[in-house]
Structure 1
Amino acid sequence: MLDIGYALSDRFPDPPQTDYRSADVPALRHDLFCGDVYLADTAEDRELSTAWGWVPVLDFAWALCDIAEELDCDPPPASGREVPLGSRSPGPHRATLDFTESAEMLRFTRRFGWVEITADWSADDEGPLRFSHRELRREARDFLHDLVADLTDMHEGLDGNPVIWSLTARFPRTD
């Protein structure tokens, strides 16, 4: 089972003068809410986690939702006559999540309905984490909504930010 989590950093606090109600996309995605994130396979007791303290956790959640959607799209057909296969597609379909302040990446590969996740910083002998695409999509969206709920509890005005409204509307929770 996939578990996605975060911890905010004390070393990189948000600027005290931040007006969360009017914070723009670059601020929300790159300047605020820094900490660490993890993806864990609870059945296998394995995880991929950062320990840098500066990862923008809202950007991570946002990017993870984008990646789940990107992995669900077949590449455009070469001839225009091919039928998209969706989760039946043998793939592989690839996506990366780039941590902008370093050269590290999370790499996602979908084959059929399964997604393998590897991290550039993990040991070579560790195999990838493997989850169904449906579980990745559901857990990514749940993580986004739970994170937004936590952040709006901590930061006055964030619940009135139109960017946050659009983001949560774009990625509603799924069954």
Structure 2
Amino acid sequence: MLDIGYSLSRRFPDPPQTDYRRADVQALRHDLFCGDVYLADTKQDREVSTAWGWVPVLDFAWALCDIVEQLDRDPLGNRRSRPQHAELDFTESSDRMLFERRFGWVDVEADWMPADEPPLTFNHAELRREARDFLHDLIADLTDMHEGLGDNPAIWGLQARFPRTP
């Protein structure tokens, strides 16, 4: 079972003068909502997580949804035996989260994981569903905390691009 989560940082608060209704994509993805994120395999009781406090959590959710779609571009989909690769790089460091899809399974590992630790493995369809749920739940949390964010056209477009999946 896959669990994706976040925590917002108190060390890197958003600027108090921010107009969330008019914040551009650059600000939404890179300057606001800093904290930490994790992907956890609850059956194995293992996770890949950050502990830096400065990861833009909305950007992480957005990029994760992009990566899941990127891993699904091959017309053979689940039948493709050759691995498909994608990576999520963290803007303020050289660290990366690495994704490899073979058939219907996605291995997730990170540069900062110990070399002898195996990757986390998730079903691609489950990863897609959970990534989109995480994105929508995060947006709901952030719009509750930040007045005007729910009226931002970039947020509307993001929600339309990655609707929840059954």
For the aligned pair, the TM-score class normalised by the smaller chain equals over 0.9
How far did 1:142 drift?
Answer: 0.2
Aligned to 1:21: 21
Aligned to 1:42: 42
Give the count of matched residue pairs: 166
Aligned to 1:153: 144
Tell me the SS of whatever aligns to 1:22. Answer: coil
Where does structure 1 differ by over 4 angstroms across 4 or more consecutive aligned residues?
none
Measure the CA separation in 2 of the matches of 1:71 and 1:115: 9
Q: Which structure 2 residues correspond to residues 79-90 of structure 1 after superposition, within 5 A? A: 84-90=75-81
Q: TM-score, normalised by structure 2?
A: 0.99
Instruction: Identify unmatched segments of 5+ residues in structure 2.
Output: none
Measure the CA separation in 1 of the matches of 2:96 and 2:24: 25
Aligned to 2:156: 165
Measure the CA separation in 2 of the matches of 1:40 and 1:91: 25
How far did 1:86 drift?
Answer: 1.4
Partner deviation per Cα, 1:50-71 (whole Å, 9 max, x = no partner): 0000000000000000000000
Q: Which structure 2 residues correspond to residues 61-80 of structure 1 after superposition, within 5 A? A: 61-74=61-74
How far did 1:125 drift?
Answer: 1.2
Aligned to 2:102: 111
Measure the CA separation in 2 of the matches of 1:31 and 1:85: 38
Partner deviation per Cα, 1:91-110 (whole Å, 9 max, x = no partner): 20000000010000000000
Partner deviation per Cα, 1:135-175 (whole Å, 9 max, x = no partner): 11000000000000000000000000000000001000001
Aligned to 2:125: 134
Aligned to 1:81: none
Tell me the SS of whatever aligns to 2:138. Answer: helix
- Return the index of the structure with the highest Cα Rg: 1
Partner deviation per Cα, 1:72-94 (whole Å, 9 max, x = no partner): 011xxxxxxxxx31111112000
Report sequence identity in percent. 76
